[in-house]
């Protein structure tokens, strides 16, 4: 069975062509929106991973520093002043002697 396009009116062909063109545009917009959602999701995932790694790194550094300070506060120095360990006398600060401040 053959279909003769010359028997179809011009208005009908324009209407069908417009519908096909609208379908093509709609498919293109849907594909672009899907790609945008995928890219936004991937960017959010990478941001979440980077933020988690950096936050873990900062917490690790803080925990290590805290452990180091607590360990250093328990160490007893053999001399009265840190300058005596090196063989230097500590300079005078006037009427008040130098005081070694410790983390409590």
The pLDDT of residue 77 is 67
pTM of the prediction? Answer: 0.49
pLDDT in 10s for each residue of the chain, 104 residues: 677 777 788 899 999 999 999 999 999 999 999 999 999 999 999 999 999 999 999 999 999 999 998 888 887 766 555 544 555 555 555 555 555 555 54
The pLDDT of residue 35 is 97
For residues 91 and 68, give the distance between their C-alpha atoms in angstroms, rounded to a whole number: 28
Rg (CA), the chain: 39
The pLDDT of residue 23 is 98
The pLDDT of residue 100 is 58
The secondary structure of residue 76, as a DSSP letter, is: P
Instruction: Please report the DSSP string for 5-43 in residue order.
Output: GGGS-HHHHHHHHHHHHHHHHHHHHHHHHHHHHHHHHHH
Length of the chain: 104
């Amino acid at each position: 069975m053959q279909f003769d396009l010359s028997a179809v009116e011009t208005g009908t062909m324009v209407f069908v062509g417009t519908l096909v063109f609208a379908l093509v545009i709609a498919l293109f917009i849907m594909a672009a929106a899907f790609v945008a959602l995928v890219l936004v999701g991937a960017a959010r995932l990478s941001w979440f991973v980077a933020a988690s790694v950096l936050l873990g790194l900062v917490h690790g550094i803080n925990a290590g520093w805290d452990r180091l300070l607590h360990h250093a506060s328990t160490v007893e120095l053999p001399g009265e002043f840190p300058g005596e360990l090196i063989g230097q006398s500590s300079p005078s600060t006037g009427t008040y002697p130098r005081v070694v401040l410790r983390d409590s």
